Amino acid sequence: MGTVIAITSGKGGTGKTSVTGGVAASLALMGRTVLCIDMDIGLRNLDISLGLNDRALMDFSDTALGRCPLARAVVEHPTLKGLWLLTAPMSLPPSLTPEKIRAMLATARAMYDYILIDAPAGLGPGFRLATCGADRAIVVSTNDASSLRDAQRTVAELDHIKQIHLIMNRIQTRLLRRLRTTIDDAMNAAGLPLIGVVPEDPQVILCANLGQPLTTQGRKGAALACWNIAQRLEGQRVPIMRIR
Strand ordering across the sheet containing 136-141: 75-76, 83-86, 34-38, 114-118, 3-8, 136-141, 163-171, 194-199
3 state DSSP class of 110? coil
pLDDT at 179 over 50: no
pLDDT at position 124 over 80: yes
Read off the pLDDT of each residue in 178-200 and give the average, rounded to a whole number.
69
Q: Is the pLDDT of residue 67 over 90?
A: yes
| Least confident piece of the model among 88-97, 153-162, 186-195, 213-222 | 186-195
pLDDT score recorded for residue 215? 79
Higher-pLDDT residue of 6, 55: 6
Residue 244: is its pLDDT beyond 70? no
Q: How many residues does the chain have?
A: 244
pLDDT band for position 53 (cuts 50, 70, 90): confident
Q: What is the mean pLDDT of residues 90-97?
A: 91
Average pLDDT over every residue of 111-132: 94
pTM score: 0.92
Helix (H) or strand (E) holding 38: strand 34-38
What whole-number percentage of the chain has pLDDT above 70? 91
The predicted structure's pLDDT at residue 181: 52
Distance CA 20, CA 38 (A): 10
**Res. 190 pLDDT band, cuts 50 70 90:** low
Q: What is the mean pLDDT of residues 182-189?
A: 57
CA distances from 18 to 95, 98, 174 (A): 30, 26, 22
pLDDT for the residue numbered 183: 56
Domains belonging to the chain, first-starting first, are 3-115+128-231 (3.40.50.300)
| Residue bearing the bigger pLDDT, 190 or 101 | 101
pLDDT of residue 186: 57
Which H or E run includes 230? helix 221-233
- The answer to whether residue 63 scores a pLDDT higher than 50 is yes
Which residue did the predictor score with more confidence, 230 or 147? 230
DSSP string over 182-225: -HHHHHHHHT--EEEEEE--THHHHHHHHT--GGGS-SSHHHHH
- Identify the CA nearest to 108 among candidates 89, 78, 87, 86: 86
pLDDT-derived band at 103, boundaries 50, 70, 90: very high
User: To the nearest whole number, what is the mean pLDDT of the chain?
Assistant: 89
